[in-house]
Structure 1
């Protein structure tokens, strides 16, 4: 039984939302970030990069305090307003590829996260959890929802469709040509209808935002221990989420690039691969795999198809059957000597929105020796990993939609 509740969002005034909304600041190049900060005084980047005001790179607790100050200034300047009553926020994104995502921004329960109603499929790093928990505790708000996915639900879909017939509170297009829409759902009867539908759902899955979820859970424990009058209804018992149906989640693959062949010649490398895969040389043809356990490889100017020899490979768990795990256990670790894919500088990744030309160009340039193309992981595989309390290898999924920061803000 999932507890998904409305909340009173802090959000930009209508005429400034397109200027406020930003991507995650880590995704900007230095030049792009500088331009945004220099020419757009309303960007949310000013809040999360408070050192720009002093031309200084500020870190740690000092940065957290300045983030809070910049946030309060945006509120004082009436760039942000807060809704007077709790709402669900119907949010739609149409990206430049024509994919459309419609869901609900709401508050999800940290108890559900702890009790495995909200399930994860990735490992989190403890020090990152604690850093972000301390950040949240200091600034008192979260501005980027966790992406959650739930089984398709006809009633919720009908409510969303009805609300979207009205004029949107927000409608703006980004530099990436993604168009964003937001509607406020205030009607008490419709709010109750959605709340009760989520209560019927036994399991919801984290699609993106594992560290934010874990940090929010740690924060709730901290604030609970400090509150002698804790009731369980406090805002810190929830975290902001964007919930979309499973059918609308778009999962891309993460392809692999490796800098060298671990001391092997091309011929010796291919001979070792032959024990694991049926190999076909495709030449200059851009070969993209279309079936599970099939891989493409680009090496020394040629594409190859690699078909796993299943007689030599047993699938005892959902993780064993995952293509990213298969590639790691059969090639990356035993042949190419990459044991820790999270931190090894010899490996890099290119998500599936970049086509195979990206792999080809990076290998042809000499930056990498070999590249591997994979088939995207399915929602069924993601759920099987989570249901069995397993974790995927790093960089197994590139998931859309990608959300903007600063459109709805959840205060603790």
Structure 2
């Protein structure tokens, strides 16, 4: 697999904490605007250029997107960001609560994505691809890193870990309590060791950022069509990503809340659920402690649900996922939620908010029932990707999230 050093456009040490921002797709326009009110340097002005206008602007309009590039140029002109003179690899470490993960910022091959050597597990939406591909083309940069992983190998992992020592280039803690540390690897011999080591790796996997990756590839194809004599070495042939060993990554639960019981009384609902799940009343709060257990909160009480024999095929990697078991045996047949992507009666709550958020939503009266999931495992995700299959919607919530604006890949 190709790991390619690059000349990062990046903030000065003094400005990195002010410029760095969450990925564009995990914040709303309103949230990005709120940050920008108090922080004129925020990278949201690049990644969410609609906030550069007083009104809600069209993110498919090149004139709107141009303001993202203008903000980037302003940050450079004012000396808040600069481009490295040589291509480097950037060691990236995140600390969140008791969790630590260490990887690299580098650029990765568009062709390996097209050849499915960079494996996916989610469907992408064309409208979102269109928007971000246009963003790449107008801003002429990959502004948000794709989140990649590889199957951990000690001899490869150690080549990265040994450089996560000494005084880092950046060291700051963000508004979510995540500590971000970056070391610039300038030693050409050490860079080459990492590049060579990854040549023996068979595949990379997208953990998060499927639309960012697809958009980068779409933009690259357009650039190639506009430059028929391209050599393959142009920057647009590579996209920005952070790459981590799978053994260090953390997936949180991705929970469900539903607004009604599909016309049933609670008694009728529990009777139907009991036909496919073993139901156990739980004293106090319940958070699933193992695979194939689901917590259900209804009318101030927690229940543990365990699927009965015959409700799923253990040999089918998709059907045996807890999110599939719940969808196929309860959400669709009992609550009538056939398509969780589009049904307005269901919502999804990332595990970062805790079980308490499920209780709050149901107790507020806005939702009738909540389901607490056991986190999907990294191994299951890898298996799905290796089999070329697609995870059900809202199956994984990776934490901590990557930051945009720490490094930018100019094209």
Per the shorter chain, which TM-score range? over 0.9
Tell me the TM-score normalised to structure 1 length: 0.95
Match of 2:350 in 1: 351
SS of aligned partner of 1:313: coil
Cα offset, 1:225, TM superposition = 1.3
Match of 2:237 in 1: 237
Whether the aligned pair in 1 keeps the contact of 2:49 and 2:67 (CA below 8 Å) is: yes
Cα offset, 1:128, TM superposition = 1.1
Q: Could you tell me how far apart the structure 2 residues matched to 1:218 and 1:36 are? A: 30
Match of 1:42 in 2: 41
Change (3 A) 1:313 1:61: same
* Deviation digits for residues 82-134 of structure 1 (CA, Å, limit 9, x no counterpart): 01110000011112x12111100000111111112110111111221122111
Q: Could you tell me how far apart the structure 2 residues matched to 1:25 and 1:161 are? A: 29
Whether the aligned pair in 1 keeps the contact of 2:312 and 2:320 (CA below 8 Å) is: no
Q: Could you tell me how far apart the structure 1 residues matched to 2:118 and 2:52 are? A: 39
Q: Could you tell me how far apart the structure 2 residues matched to 1:323 and 1:57 are? A: 39
Q: Could you tell me how far apart the structure 1 residues matched to 2:53 and 2:81 are? A: 23
* Deviation digits for residues 196-239 of structure 1 (CA, Å, limit 9, x no counterpart): 11110001111000111111111111111111221111111111
Match of 1:293 in 2: 292
Q: Could you tell me how far apart the structure 2 residues matched to 1:306 and 1:373 are? A: 10
Q: Could you tell me how far apart the structure 2 residues matched to 1:50 and 1:114 are? A: 29
Whether the aligned pair in 2 keeps the contact of 1:143 and 1:407 (CA below 8 Å) is: no
Match of 2:83 in 1: 82
- Say yes or no: does 1:7 pair with 2:6: yes
Structure 2: which 5+ runs fail to align?
none
Whether the aligned pair in 1 keeps the contact of 2:7 and 2:87 (CA below 8 Å) is: yes
Q: Could you tell me how far apart the structure 1 residues matched to 2:289 and 2:140 are? A: 46
Cα offset, 1:294, TM superposition = 1.4
1:32-111 equivalence runs, <5 A: 33-50=32-49, 52=51, 54-59=53-58, 60-95=61-96, 97-111=97-111
Change (3 A) 1:23 1:299: same
* Deviation digits for residues 242-301 of structure 1 (CA, Å, limit 9, x no counterpart): 00111111001111100000001111111111111111122x421222222211111112
Match of 2:146 in 1: 146
Whether the aligned pair in 1 keeps the contact of 2:112 and 2:118 (CA below 8 Å) is: yes
Cα offset, 1:194, TM superposition = 0.5
1:134-213 equivalence runs, <5 A: 134-213=134-213
Cα offset, 1:54, TM superposition = 5.0
Whether the aligned pair in 1 keeps the contact of 2:101 and 2:244 (CA below 8 Å) is: yes
Q: Could you tell me how far apart the structure 2 residues matched to 1:289 and 1:174 are? A: 29
Q: Could you tell me how far apart the structure 2 residues matched to 1:400 and 1:375 are? A: 15
Change (3 A) 1:408 1:61: same
Cα offset, 1:31, TM superposition = 6.7
Q: Could you tell me how far apart the structure 1 residues matched to 2:240 and 2:261 are? A: 44
Change (3 A) 1:52 1:263: closer
Change (3 A) 1:121 1:98: same
SS of aligned partner of 1:297: strand
SS of aligned partner of 2:348: strand
Cα offset, 1:390, TM superposition = 1.0
Q: Could you tell me how far apart the structure 1 residues matched to 2:368 and 2:16 are? A: 45
Whether the aligned pair in 1 keeps the contact of 2:254 and 2:373 (CA below 8 Å) is: yes
Match of 2:275 in 1: 275
Q: Could you tell me how far apart the structure 2 residues matched to 1:307 and 1:355 are? A: 21
Cα offset, 1:51, TM superposition = 5.3
SS of aligned partner of 1:163: coil
Q: Could you tell me how far apart the structure 2 residues matched to 1:161 and 1:26 are? A: 29
SS of aligned partner of 2:268: helix
- Say yes or no: does 1:411 pair with 2:406: no
Cα offset, 1:29, TM superposition = 6.3
SS of aligned partner of 1:194: helix
SS of aligned partner of 1:14: coil
Change (3 A) 1:189 1:69: same
Q: Could you tell me how far apart the structure 2 residues matched to 1:278 and 1:56 are? A: 52
Structure 1: which 5+ runs fail to align?
none
Which sits farther off after the overlay, 63-72 or 284-293? 284-293
Q: Could you tell me how far apart the structure 2 residues matched to 1:11 and 1:93 are? A: 18
Q: Could you tell me how far apart the structure 2 residues matched to 1:225 and 1:53 are? A: 31
Whether the aligned pair in 1 keeps the contact of 2:297 and 2:359 (CA below 8 Å) is: yes
SS of aligned partner of 1:89: strand
Cα offset, 1:32, TM superposition = 5.2
Q: Could you tell me how far apart the structure 1 residues matched to 2:162 and 2:372 are? A: 41
Q: Could you tell me how far apart the structure 1 residues matched to 2:238 and 2:45 are? A: 26
Q: CA RMSD in A?
A: 1.7
